[in-house]
Amino acid sequence: MGSGTVGRLTKWTGFTSSNSVIGDSTIYEDKYGLVGIGTDSPASKLTVNGMIQSLSGGLKFPDGTVQTSSATGALLSIAHDTTLEGNGTSSSPLAIRVPLFLSASSTDVFTARQNGGCTGCSAITGFAEGASIGVTGAVTAFVPVPRTGVQGVSDTGVGVLGQSKTDIGVRGEGSIIGVKGGGTGVGVSGLGGSRNNGFGGIGVIAQGGDGGGVGNRGGVGIYALGGLGTGGAIDGLAGFFFGNVQVSGTLSKGAGAFKIDHPLDPENKYLSHSFVESPDINALTPGVNATFEAWVFLANAPTEIASLFNKWNQTIDDEYLVGISPGRTLYFAWHTTGGNTWPSTAFNQAASTGTIPLNAWTHVAVVRSGAQLTFYINGIANTVLAVMDANPFRNGPATLRVGAQGRGVSRFFNGTIDEVRMYSRALTPSEIAADMGPGTGPDVTPPVISLTAPAQNATVSRLVTVSANATDNIGVAGVQFKLDGVNLGLEDALAPFTVLWDTTTSSPGPHTLTAVAFDAAGNQASSTPVAVTVSNNSQLTLAWDANVEPTLAGYKLYVGEASGVYGSTIDVGNVTSVTVTTLQAGHLYFFAVSAYDQAGVESGFSNEVSTSAP
C-alpha cells in the first residue's frame, strides 16, 4: 500500500504487521528520458543535486580512459591580487583588471615575443575605438643615455606598425627624438590612407617641439642626414622628392651648390651652381624708369651670357635680364609693352663698352630713364645708349632669379653676387655712389671661430655638449659643427653656439671635431680641429644554472646585437657567471649559453636574454 509522484521511481518505505509500504525515491525521470537524482528538474541525461562519490572503480570516459583519483597538482583554487578580477568560474572568469600597471627597476617591464609560423601575426596588438590610442609608450625621467618609449625590432618585417582610419598611425614625442627607425631597409615609412571620396591621408607629419629660454629655439620638424658612402660608395642624399614640393615660409640652404646634368653632355658632365629665386609679384616689374645694380666677383669669363638677375624665359613673356657677356661687358636685355618683335626698340639687347675685371669685387648698375640706358661700372657711367622705346616693361609670369636664368638656356653665373638692388626709378650718379658705400665693396672679412669644448685630446662618452666661440666684423649668421668632416646636428644661428652630441651613435676610438662660422655675406671660417676619443665601454654580469652532468668541462657565452645572431663567443670555463666588458653603452645586446663536455661536444643554446648596456 502507499502512494507516489509521477516520474519518481518507487521504493519500499516501510512495513507494518500486515502490509508493506511504498513511496517516492529520490530518483526522477521525465518523459524525455532525462534523469535527476535529488532533483525533479533534470537538465541533462543525468543531473545530480549533491556530491557523487566513487568507492572503487573510478570514472570511465568515452575514450576508454578511467580516472580513479584527482589529478596531481590539480588547480583547486585561484589566488590573485588587485591586478586581476574574477575567480576562474564560468560565472566569474579570470580577467585582467584595467588600468593595469607593471613596474620594475632593473629589468624589462614587459616582453612579448611571437615565435613565427604565423604570417601577419604580431607580438603585441593594441586596438582602441574613437579618439583613443592603441599602444602608448613613454619614458618620464631623463637619464644620461636617452631611453625609448616604444621599441619594435624585426629581422625581416616591420618593427612598429601603426594604422588609423581617421587619425595618426604612429606618433612619437621626445625631448630629443620623437620617432627613430633603423635597419638595413627603410628606417621609418609613412603611408597615408586612401579615400574613395575625400582627401587622401598624409604619409608623415613632423612637428618640432616648443623651445624655451633666452638663446634657445624650438625643435626641428624633420632632420635628415644622407648616409655615408664607404668602400667606394658615394654619400647618400639627405632628401629625395618624387613630385612637386610646396614650401610655405622661407627656404634656405648653407654654403654649397646645386648640381645638375650639363645640358650639352648630360651623360658625362655636371654643372654646379647657386641661384636665388623670388616669386613673381608686380613690384618686381618696374615701369618706364628703373635701376638694377649689384656687387659681383667674376671668377672666370663666361662662355655664354651669365645672368646676374632676370625675369627672362626665352618667350614673349620676357621682361628684363641683367648679365655679363662672354667679353665681360655689362649686358642688358629688355621687353616692353611696345611689341613682341625681336630685335626692336621694344624687344632687344645692349651692352657696355667697358669690361668687368676677373677675381675682383666690382659694382655694376644699369639705369633706364625712358628710352635711355646708362651702364655703370664701379660708379662710372661708361656707356649711354638711346635704344629703347618709351613703354613700360612687360609684366610677365616669370619669377625673379639671381645667379642663373635656367629657363630655355642656363646662363649660370660663375662667381659671387652680393647686395642686389632694384629700383622703380632712375638713380642719379650720386645715389649710385652712395649705394656703393665708401668704396670698400661688400663684406669680405671672414668670421673668427674656435672650439671651446670638449678640450683637445679629451675622452668623451654618452651625451657631450660641443661648443664654440665665434665673432665677425659685422655679425655671425650661423655656426655648423662637424664630426669627422660631416655635419653634426643643425646649423646654430644664435649664440651661445652649441650642439648636443650623442657619442653612443659614433664608433669607439678617435674622432675629429671642427666648427665652421658663416656671416651674412657668405664668408666662412673653420676652427682648429679638436681630437677626441670616444669611449663608451660598459659591462654586464651574467649568471646561469649549473649543468650537473659528470662529464661537464665548461661553458661558452654567445654575444650578439640581434636576436639569434651572435657575433662573438667567450669560453668562460667551468664557472656559472661572467662579467662581459667592452660593451657599447646604450646598445642592446643578446646573450645565450652552451655547455660542453670533456670530449668537446657542445650542447645547444640556452634560453636567450637581452638587455641594454648601462
Residues 349, 464, single domain; the answer is no
Lowest mean pLDDT among 108-122, 301-315, 325-339: 108-122
d(CA 26, CA 28): 7
CB atoms within 10 A of CB 473: 13
Determine contact, residues 552/574, Cβ cutoff 8 Å: yes
Among residues of the chain, what percentage have pLDDT more than 70? Answer: 80
Residues 430, 571, single domain; the answer is no
Backbone dihedral angles phi then psi of residue 451, each to the nearest 5 degrees: -80, 135
Residues 464, 406, single domain; the answer is no
What is the tens place of the pLDDT at every residue in 21-42? Answer: 777 888 888 888 899 898 988 9
Residues 422, 365, single domain; the answer is yes
CB atoms within 10 A of CB 403: 23
Q: Which of 436, 460, 479 is the last residue of a domain?
A: 436
**C-alpha atoms less than 13 angstroms from C-alpha of 168 in its C-beta half-sphere:** 11
Q: Containing domain of residue 499, as a range?
A: 448-534
Residues 431, 296, single domain; the answer is yes
Residue 64 lies in a domain: no
Q: Which of 51, 72, 90 is the last residue of a domain?
A: 51
Report the Cα–Cα distance between both ends of the chain, in Å, rounded: 92
Residues 474, 419, single domain; the answer is no
Residues 310, 281, single domain; the answer is yes
Instruction: State the pLDDT at residue 405.
Output: 86
Query: Across the strands, what pairs with 468?
Result: 451, 497
Q: Which of 476, 509, 534 is the last residue of a domain?
A: 534
Q: How confident is the model at residue 388 (pLDDT cuts 50, 70, 90)?
A: very high
What is the tens place of the pLDDT at every residue in 49-93? Answer: 888 887 777 777 778 888 777 655 555 566 677 777 877 776 778
Give the type of residue at 306: A
Residues 268, 329, single domain; the answer is yes
Measured over the CA atoms of residue 587, residue 590, residue 593 and residue 599, the dihedral's sign is negative
Residues 427, 568, single domain; the answer is no
In this structure, what is the dihedral angle of CA atoms 364, 369, 371, 377, given to the nearest 10 degrees? -20
Average pLDDT value over all residues in the chain = 83
Structural domain total, the chain:
4
Residue 295: which of 439, 132, 178 has the closest Cα? 439
Residues 608, 571, single domain; the answer is yes
Output the domain CATH number for residue 312. 2.60.120.200
pTM of the model: 0.36
d(CA 201, CA 192): 4
Write the DSSP assignment of 427-485 as a string of letters. Answer: --HHHHHHHHTTTT-S--PPPEEEEEESPTTEEE-SEEEEEEEEE-SS-EEEEEEEETT
Q: Is the pLDDT of residue 257 over 60?
A: no
Query: Which H/E stretch holds residue 554?
Result: strand 552-560
Residues 411, 269, single domain; the answer is yes
Residues 379, 467, single domain; the answer is no
Output the domain CATH number for residue 455. 2.60.40.10
In this structure, what is the dihedral angle of CA atoms 61, 66, 69, 70, given to the nearest 10 degrees? -40
Residue 340 lies in a domain: yes
